[in-house]
């Protein structure tokens, strides 16, 4: 039976090295930061507040915030090691537009950030396939609550289309995920789109990314 930490943690599936100051290094971040950043620069507003769900090592947070200094970046992760790594990366980078990481459980009806007001965007990278489907529903519901009118939810990772994988490697990856934890797995864009609609979000863009990944951009109602 999977533990609660396995269900909630975004620090999974790959080996990571760590420094004495608790900074962890993710091989996948090294590969995907540049193509993700190129899209984020296009779709995110020039100014505003961004909430990251499942920040993992924290490398994405400091990379993206450093490249977009007019955005305030709020990382979060339910895993204590991930938050420690993220805090160390923020200190190492010396970036004032990255806030201390929060412990957010997306399945909760309250995320603890409601007092901050509405966010301009929520970003989640490589999270929903290593979490139960309930976490996807919670993420979408939270985005519907916390995004301003016209705000964006940006999801990155592997996805299926109408029950079909876009590459044999993704089918193999999906099978390995489900063997490790039956509640995990590569999600179907159609199912995500339907669930997003119930939360007041529309799928605006589906962007093909390197290594058979995709970036999905959902939006709330008109600003």
pTM of the model: 0.91
H-state helical runs in 23-148: 27-43, 59-67, 80-93, 133-146
Which two tokens mark 130? 């290593």
Q: What angle do the packed helices 80-93 and 59-67 form, to 10 degrees?
A: 40
Q: How far is the CA of 109 from the CAs of 105, 157, 196, in angstroms?
A: 9, 25, 16
Model confidence pLDDT, tens digit, residues 129-175:
999 999 999 999 999 999 999 999 999 999 999 999 999 999 999 99
pLDDT band at 7 (very low <50, low <70, confident <90, very high): very low
Question: Quick one: CA dihedral 39, 7, 141, 110, positive or negative?
Answer: negative
Provide the pLDDT for residue 86.
97
In 111-213, beta strands by DSSP E? 119-125, 147-157, 159-161, 164-165, 187-188, 202-208
Q: Sheet of 71-76: strands edge to edge?
A: 71-76, 48-53, 119-125, 147-157, 214-219, 202-208
pLDDT band at 9 (very low <50, low <70, confident <90, very high): very low
Provide the pLDDT for residue 160.
97
Neighbouring residues of 175: CB distance < 8 A, sequence distance ≥ 6: none
CB 184 within 8 A of CB 129: yes
State whether residue 53 is helix, strand or coil. strand
Model confidence pLDDT, tens digit, residues 52-93:
999 999 999 999 999 999 999 999 999 999 999 999 999 999
Domains defined for the chain, CATH in brackets:
4-8+28-219 (3.40.50.150)
H-state helical runs in 68-188: 80-93, 133-146, 168-180
pLDDT band at 38 (very low <50, low <70, confident <90, very high): very high
Which residues are paired to 18 by β-bridges? 24
């Amino acid at each position: 039976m999977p533990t609660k930490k396995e269900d909630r943690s975004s620090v999974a599936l790959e080996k990571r090295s760590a420094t004495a100051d608790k900074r962890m290094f993710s091989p996948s971040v090294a590969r995907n930061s540049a193509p993700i950043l190129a899209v984020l620069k296009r779709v995110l507003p020039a100014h505003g507040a961004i909430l990251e769900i499942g920040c993992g090592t924290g490398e994405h947070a400091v990379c993206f915030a450093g490249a977009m200094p007019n955005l305030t970046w709020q990382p979060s992760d339910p895993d204590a090691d991930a938050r420690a790594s993220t805090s160390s990366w923020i200190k190492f980078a010396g970036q004032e537009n990255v806030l201390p990481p929060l412990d957010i459980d997306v399945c909760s009806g309250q995320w603890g950030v409601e007092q901050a007001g509405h966010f301009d965007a929520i970003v989640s990278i490589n999270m929903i396939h290593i979490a139960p489907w309930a976490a996807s529903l919670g993420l979408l519901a939270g985005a519907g609550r916390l995004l301003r009118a016209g705000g964006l939810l940006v999801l990155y990772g592997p996805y299926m289309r109408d029950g079909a994988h876009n590459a044999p490697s993704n089918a193999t990856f999906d099978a390995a995920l489900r063997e490790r934890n039956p509640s995990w797995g590569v999600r179907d864009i159609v199912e995500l789109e339907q669930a997003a609609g119930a939360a007041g979000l529309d799928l605006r863009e589906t962007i093909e990314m390197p290594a058979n990944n995709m970036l999905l951009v959902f939006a709330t109602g008109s600003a």
